[in-house]
Amino acid sequence: MNLPKRVEIIESGPRDGIQNEKIFISTNSKLQLIHALSETGIKRMEATSFVSPKHVPQMADGAEVFRNINKREDVQYMTLIPNKRGFDLAKDVGATSLALFVAASETFNKKNVRMSIEESLFQLSSVVEEAKNENMFIRFHISTAFYCPYEGPVQEETTLGLVQALEKLNVDEIVLCDTIGRANPKQVYHLFGKTLDFSPRAKITAHFHDTYGLSKANSLAALQAGISSFDTSIGGLGGCPFAPGAAGNDSTEDFVFMLHEMGVETGVDFDKLMQCVNLIKEMTNRTLTGHLHKIANPNSPDNNTNDIVKLNS
């Protein structure tokens, strides 16, 4: 089996994981989670976003959160922005690493940001240019890289064309997102393989959701294709609100456990990671979609075994 020696974990829980939670999570609780994740060995995370509080009320305290993070020098704290206003807000609080996004589906992009793909790229290209002049790090998500909840399958050529367009913008990282969790391992292997065939200058990262229970299989396919950088979310929180029955993002703890069991290094302290799972369980009333918290907690109603499994890191 072709596996990398080491895989980079990018934690998206503080942003993508909790952004659609209906019960508002306090600023202090968000900071507690971010600080705990910073102690696990994870070196990169999406900490918050600067989006419309009307549409994403959970992120209304983005500026307060970012200002009050006890930032470690060895951890990259990224903020997601949708437009120039978001860029200005991020810049005002001292953010130096930004996440932007565009969809590979016209319908999804119009419903999400009320612009066509071409209009999004035109608007955000000037944001990227200004950010690069400020020596900021730019990661760019391609949403619905495989499937759209409105249009169905997305043509591979469409996603690859966006990868090439973003390469021309000189972004630092491109994230291919299975937004509704509908991709299968064959598609994943093929698309990431084709992407790497371009020899892109940008880092290529995978972002999977587990709606159809395929996130681990898809992650393994991406690993086989040569990808060694993955977005995950603590507890498996997250999920596209436009996808029927959507589960969350790929669970950080489950993915790290799988990698460690296969002898792949992550630099993540598993015990500290599980402490973060316990934290997020107290912050939301939603059932976590990860699996290991059920095994690690014998009192969980979902745990049907009397044996306590020792989770090796």
DSSP assignment of 36-68, as one string?
HHHTTT--EEEEEE---TTT-GGGTTHHHHHHT
Render pLDDT for 155-167 as a digit per residue (tens, 0 to 9).
Answer: 999 999 999 999 9
Mean per-residue pLDDT for 301-305?
Answer: 44
Active site residue 276: no
- Considering only residues 259 and 19, tell me which one the structure prediction assigns the higher pLDDT: 259
Render pLDDT for 87-126 as a digit per residue (tens, 0 to 9).
Answer: 999 999 999 999 999 999 999 999 989 999 999 999 999 9
Q: Are strands 152-153 and 147-148 parallel, antiparallel or unpaired?
A: antiparallel
pTM for the whole structure? 0.93
Confidence band for 201, pLDDT divided at 50, 70 and 90: very high
Confidence band for 290, pLDDT divided at 50, 70 and 90: confident
Q: Which residues pair with 150 in a beta bridge?
A: none
Render pLDDT for 23-51 as a digit per residue (tens, 0 to 9).
Answer: 999 999 999 999 999 999 999 999 999 99
The amino acid at 24: F
Share of the chain above pLDDT 90, in %: 81
Mean per-residue pLDDT for 76-86?
Answer: 96
Mean per-residue pLDDT for 196-217?
Answer: 95
Q: Is the confidence at residue 142, as pLDDT, over 60?
A: yes
Burial class (CB in 10 A: 0-12, 13-18, 19+), 289: buried
Rounded mean pLDDT of the chain? 91
Mean per-residue pLDDT for 262-272?
Answer: 97
Mean per-residue pLDDT for 159-184?
Answer: 97
Output the pLDDT for position 312: 40
Output the pLDDT for position 289: 84
Q: Is the confidence at residue 313, as pLDDT, over 80?
A: no
Tell whether the torsion through CA atoms of 303, 304, 306 and 309 is positive or negative: negative
What is d(CA 183, CA 159) in angstroms, rounded to the nearest whole number?
13
Tokens of 132: 């690069």
CATH class of 8-296: alpha beta
Confirm if 248 and 17 have CB atoms less than 8 A apart: yes
Q: Is the confidence at residue 244, as pLDDT, over 90?
A: no
Pure H helices in 74-200:
84-92, 106-113, 117-133, 156-168, 185-197
Tell me how far apart the terminal alpha carbons of the chain are, to the nearest angstrom.
Answer: 21
Collapsed DSSP state (helix, strand, coil) of residue 249: strand
Instruction: Compute the residue count for the chain.
Output: 313
Domain residue ranges in the chain:
8-296
* Residues in Cβ contact with 19 at an 8 Å cutoff, skipping those fewer than 6 apart: 49, 56, 58, 59, 238
